[in-house]
Amino acid sequence: MTSPEPFRVIFVCTGNICRSPMAEVVFRDLAERQGLGARITSSSASTGEWHVGERADNRTIEALERRGYDGSRHRAKPFTAASFADNDLVVALDRTHERILREWARDEDQEGKITLLLSFDREAENLDVPDPYYAEAQMFDAVLAMIETATRGLFRQLEPALRSRRTTPRTLPQN
């Protein structure tokens, strides 16, 4: 019996050098630590092409390192039309990204894959992960903490289906 294809999650922000790489790395680490690294994958992309091919912002890499993650291999890439087909879940880091992604969606199936990361944090007062790009290094740490909390919430939603089924979930369980 062949193992099922992994459930694929892509995180999307503006330039793919701050927030979405953080979410990608944190989510991948969580899946691996929970023994589900082969059942679920994460990637990230941007809504624009400003930083394509670049590493994550140094402050992103440093914030990740301070929390025990490795973001050094990241290279920015744009979200494309193929990204909808290549992923089972498209996670926007703020409502602007969500709006853009919904505009790009060609049908209800693609639109149904889109969600906001902070919707998985029951304590979040706002659904937008702030962009730390123009802020000091401390803001990167604060943003990473938000992402860690919401990513754990997202993982909790997906984990039961990943553990109990021989195939991976193709739709997100309802919050």
Catalytic residue list contains 19? yes
Catalytic residue list contains 131? yes
- Single-letter code of the amino acid located at 81: A
Please, which pLDDT band fits residue 174 given cuts at 50, 70 and 90?
very low
Catalytic residue among 55, 128, 131, 152: 131
Catalytic residue among 13, 29, 39, 59: 13
Please, which pLDDT band fits residue 164 given cuts at 50, 70 and 90?
confident
Per domain, the residue ranges of the chain are 7-164
pLDDT in tens, 48-86: 988 887 899 999 999 999 999 999 999 999 999 999 999
Catalytic residue among 18, 19, 39, 88: 19
Q: What is the CATH number of domain 7-164?
A: 3.40.50.2300
